A and B are shown apart, each in its own frame.
Chain A
Amino acid sequence: MEAASIPQTPTPPQRKLGDVLRDNSLWLIFGLVLVLLAIIDLKEQDNILPLANNIKDGLSVGTIWALIALGYTLVYGIIELINFAHGEVFMIGSFITVSLFVTFGLTEDTALFGLIIGMFAALVIAMLGSGVLNVMIERVAYRPLRGAPKLASLITAIGMSFILQNVGLLWRPTPDSAPDLIKSQVELFTLFGVDVVRSDVFAVAVTIPLLFALLYFVGQTKYGKAMRATAQDPDAARLMGIDVNKTISLTFLLGGLMAGAAGLIYALYNLTIQFNQGFTAGLIAFTAAVMGGIGNLKGAVVGGLLIGFVQQTVESRVDNGSAWAPAVVFAILVLVMVFRPQGLFGEETREG
């Protein structure tokens, strides 16, 4: 790049209040919303229980969004492409899960030991299934178009998404119910007045180990290093002897694994699965990824939790909330992409 000028120790430019505010604008907005909701609750009921519930629910459903968002962010980080079919990978994960439950004969009455073994096996298989599916999608729809303009890959991604949705439609033409294996609504304990039920704990309990495993893999292993190198500079990575194609496939695999896990959690959380759950879920999770800073793993998780909170808040406080929530999330997507495309943790583009 350009040679630096002969240094006179530069005085770092003063950070003005305006800059600080602008850099943390998303956090500030979020903080304001929290305060506002707290005030509303206090006025209506003298306590902030509804807000606390929103937070609790947001955190637990947010794990699903976080896992799916990780898939988006991993893929975008390495090849700068939005994997449009990722939502469908999540959907297939759910479908595989429920089919496995039936095959294994798991019902609400199965003994605890069998239940745990069965669910664990289902988790592994669903994750692998989704992972492999994601790898296949890359091979078929994206790799042939590596040098082509973005439009081409976006179209193939949409095409792939449609194909998979049709697969889902043929598999289960009407919404199917998943067995309530974890007895999701049973209260386990109460924290600060908020009732925590089994599905909350389950979601978090599945997600946290996966997150740690992923972060360890990407941060500490040589494969993870290869991924990060390829994301930064594919040509240099290639020159260093990294097999870029394999690394990209690995990235898709990881993203798919996360989406598969999300599929299982969703099935047990929502208790209903249907072929088009991927479209909306995909967009919501994508919003989370963008909000966190696309390409940033930590951001995807935080974004997922935040979006979960938003979704729960809207659903519980607004009339016809479950129809409103996606619209609100999409509006957030637009606002973030237009006003703060780097999200919470992303970097400024060169001409910010």
Chain B
Amino acid sequence: MSAIRNTFGRVSGLVPFWVWCLVWLLAAIAFGFIGDEVFSDELYDASITTLGYVMMALGLNIVVGFAGLLDLGYVAFYAIGAFMGGWLMSAQFSDRDIHFLVSDVTEKLPGIHLNFFLVIFLAAAVTAFWGAVLGAPTLRLRGDYLAIVTLAFGEIVPRVFELSESGLFGIGSTNWSNGRQGITPVDKPFAPIPGLDEITRLDITPYFFIALFMVVLVLFLNFRLRDSRLGRAWIAVREDEVAAAAMGVNLVRVKLWAYAIGAAIGGFAGAFLGVYRNTVNVDQFEFGFSVFILAMIIIGGMGNIGGVIAGAITLSLFERFALPELNPLTQSLIDFDITAISFGIFGFFLLAMMILRPEGFIPNRRRKMELHEGEDDETATGPGDESLYAVRG
């Protein structure tokens, strides 16, 4: 395994980074055009949702991988982004009549209908705000306390949507979420450019390219931030908060930025997924999703951008295909529907991963060091963190 990695490392070292990016990009574009013919329609559809998940993983990677803030409630941002899409691109608020840069057909529909490309950025901005709001109370919490609070938020936010079918918390009478039915249909993306001006749900190729475009933007953001002073500050904060603060890092500001940007990306992707699936429904937002995205980062190698992408693609496709494909085999051999234990297999996978290879398959050298630090210490009884008490900050 490491032999493969070493050769890969050596080969990739020969070629400048931007060439690699170009190669991957071209491969993706090629897939975009011929994917549904060379492979199945199902795979093509899965690849589009996978691109959405890749964005989410990259977003969560900023919070968990870079800044080291254990966030178990990422699904909240998915929900906010998706509902933003639902509110601003559907007939949900049919008593209003606002249109902006939409297709002629949509122009005539009641409700709020804004241009998709505007909406995804609006969703990102709004979600960023909520990321900071939900992150603020957690700033002085450590490790598992932080995780539980973020988990609680991840439960509260979808429930707020669920319980706001007639009025927010029952106040007022606006139907914010349409309860169990959800908001459907949602507008298709539109831009007065050939290729994007007549998008239907029959040909999903435009969706692929839109998603790819969004992924490229998110990647760009990731790389730039990682190599900036904020990125360095994040890693310092993750490593040693006390030392980071003593070096002049404003812990509050740096952590809030991590939450805000991570959330923004979640909302960005969430809006897209809501549009692509043509429905926004509270049932889509569950704790399991937060763990799903977290698992992508863990498998891929936390903090390592390439690893996270690989993890996202792997897990997404595995979830979609591996078990259903395996099913006929297990049915015939031992008469067992293997998809019934997909949840359990996922759990087992998490377990095995953390025990055997917590740094992920394509580890960031930092993470590998951090995670194996306590290994030779057989006498340890407690977790390896040094600072037990939250330092003011």
Contacts and interface: CB of A to CB of B under 8 A. Distances in A.
Whether the complex brings A and B within 8 Å at their CB atoms is answered yes
Contacts of A153: 354, 383
Interface stretch (A61-69, A99-107, A264-272, A331-339): A331-339
A326 B162 CA distance: 13
A286 B149 CA distance: 11
Nearest to B70: A151
Contact of B382 (A162, A234, A337): A234
Contacts of A319: 170
A163 B344 contact: yes
Chain A, interface residues (CB within 8 Å), range:
35 or more
Which of A80, A146, A164, A279 has the most B CB atoms < 10 Å from its CB? A146
B144 A150 contact: yes
A162 B343 CA distance: 6
B287 A235 contact: no
Chain B, interface residues (CB within 8 Å), range:
35 or more
A148 B371 contact: yes
B144 A147 contact: no
Contacts of B384: 147-149
B391 A334 contact: no
Tell me the interface secondary structure of chain B in the complex: helix
B23 to A, nearest CB: 33
B354 A170 contact: no
B361 to A, nearest CB: 15
A158 B390 contact: no
A76 to B, nearest CB: 9
Interface stretch (B50-58, B82-90, B135-143, B204-212): B135-143
A292 B141 CA distance: 18
Nearest to A333: B152
B148 A333 contact: yes
Interface of B: 70, 72, 137-138, 140-141, 143-145, 147-149, 151-153, 155-156, 159-160, 162-163, 170, 287-288, 291, 294, 298, 340-341, 343-351, 353-355, 358, 370-371, 373-375, 377, 379-385, 389-392
Given A155-B294, A159-B351, A170-B340, 17 more contacts: A81-B383, A147-B373, A147-B380, A150-B147, A153-B383, A154-B70, A154-B147, A156-B350, A159-B347, A159-B349, A162-B347, A163-B348, A248-B381, A286-B148, A337-B149, A338-B138, A350-B389
Interface of A: 79-82, 140-141, 144-156, 158-167, 169-170, 230, 234-235, 238, 244, 248, 279, 283, 286, 319-320, 323-324, 326-327, 330-331, 333-334, 337-338, 341, 349-351
